[in-house]
Amino acid sequence: MNEFGSLHKLNDRYELRFERFFTNSIEDVFRAITNPSDFSQWYPFATGEMDLRIGGKISFDDGEGTTYEATITELEEPHLFGFREIDDVIHISLQGDVEGCRMTFIHTFDDDSWAVNTAAGWHRCLDVLDQIVNGQTIEWPDNAAELREVYREAFNK
């Protein structure tokens, strides 16, 4: 089973942190994280339009008429990928070793009232990323309600 995320308060912001281990090479994981067609399959609302460079834009569409862009703020292949999405910050770092690589995924935001739902959502998204990295058919399991309950208890919400 994949590791669960944790919630931390830093200054006046909150941080959801997930760590995942992949038996794949750091290059394969980085490619799945940053390839626009793969990114749009595991990252919510991503359109597949991405200018992969510092200052480059990533396009999003919520499917309900709202479109917006994120700006890439960190990019160091194959170790670091980060961007600012409105006021939220996503930071993904990879550390390789002989058995694969460890990914640390951090989402920094202001309002913790959505932390439970957001954590459950990221958990599911990162499960799909794992499927992509491993060349599996993407299947979104019907476990959102169960994950929300797990995170509600873990975060005392």
User: Over the stretch 84-106, which tens digit does the pLDDT of each residue have?
Assistant: 998 999 999 999 988 999 999 99
Percentage of the chain exceeding pLDDT 90: 91
pLDDT at 146 over 90: yes
Q: How many CB atoms lie within 10 A of CB 127?
A: 19
| Residue range 13-154, CATH number | 3.30.530.20
> How far is 110 from 119, CA to CA, in rounded Å?
14
Cis ω before 78 (30° cut-off from 0): yes
pTM (two decimals): 0.94
pLDDT score of 1:
43
- 26, 102 in Cβ contact below 8 A? no
The mean of the pLDDT values for the chain is: 95
CB-neighbour burial class of residue 36 (10 A; exposed 0-12, middle 13-18, buried 19+): middle
* CA R_g for the chain: 15
